[in-house]
Amino acid sequence: MLFHINGMLRFWFSLVLMLTCAAVAQAADIRGKVRVIDGDTLDVGDVRVRLHGIDAPERNQPCTTLTGQNWGCGDWVTRQVRDRYQGAEARCEATDWDGTYKRVVARCFVDGTEINRAMVAEGLAFAYRKYSLDYDLEEKAAFVADLGIHGFVMEAPARYRLTRIKGRTAQDAKCRIKGNINAKGVRIYHVPGQKYYERTGIQAAQGEQWFCSEAQARASGWRRSKL
């Protein structure tokens, strides 16, 4: 019986691997006009592409300037990428398949310039070292020069996604500001010690979330509770 189960597991693993490789191979050379989804995701023709080896701020991700001003880094990066590449003819070389979001992971080129590398070099994305060190030197040079997002204070995009998906709950003890949406749809945040803090609950599925600072809450569109 154990041999039979192990054999079935090997079969299913091999089948999944074969299908994944087939999907990547089928999309190995992608060509078409670019439609920018966000800083590191594009539609190239009718194929959704996640840019290999880089991680850009999420579209609604906030940050703070070095002088303490709130700034929408994610929206800014998306606009920059759109200004550069929207409507351009691109060629992409697939490197992997993102089964979770049904996207091809790829290097993409416009007029001979690699988009992935250019974005990191210009400070529009981080090198995603978890998956690749291809753009490590470009990020270091952009960091030294304070280019783009390196001139702001912000969370790593991967951490921002993690805390947003999980509702910014107690996994980070520093993120204790509650971003609540009231019955009228008004976004109000509560800090520890305020009158309604303890009785306020957070329902992440409805867009409510935890924040790590008041600056972050304001940059995301919440206002401080008056009580």
Nearest CA among 124, 118, 127 for reference residue 150: 124
Give the pairing of strands 152-153 and 177-181: unpaired
- Cβ within 8 Å of residue 170, ≥6 positions away: none
In this predicted model, what pLDDT tens digit does every residue of 128-187 receive, in sequence order?
Answer: 999 999 999 999 999 999 999 999 888 888 887 776 655 444 445 567 888 888 878 889
Length of the chain, in residues? 227
Residue 129 is predicted with a pLDDT of 94
pTM recorded for the entire structure = 0.65
pLDDT at 8: 56
Which pair of structure tokens corresponds to residue 87? 């409507």
**At 137, phi and psi to the nearest 5?**
-70, -35
Residue 129 near residue 120, CB atoms below 8 Å:
no
Q: What pLDDT, on a 0 to 100 scale, did the predictor assign at position 10?
A: 59
Give the residue among 146, 148, 116 at the shortest CA–CA distance from 133.
Answer: 116
Cα gap 189→167, rounded to integer Å: 14
* Predicted local distance difference test score (pLDDT) of residue 39: 95
Estimate to the nearest angstrom the gap between the alpha carbon of 130 and the chain centroid: 14
User: What is the CATH architecture assignment of 27-153?
Assistant: Beta Barrel (2.40)
Q: What is the pLDDT of residue 181?
A: 87
Contact 149, 123 (CB under 8 A): yes
Residue that the structure tokens 């439609």 belong to: 35
List the domain boundaries for the chain: 27-153, 166-224
Paired tokens of 133: 């060190």
Q: pLDDT value at position 20?
A: 46
Strands (E), the chain: 29-38, 41-44, 47-51, 54-55, 63-65, 70-71, 89-98, 103-110, 113-114, 126-127, 152-153, 177-181, 187-190, 209-211, 223-224
Specify the pLDDT at position 120. 98
Tell me: pLDDT of 60 over 90: no
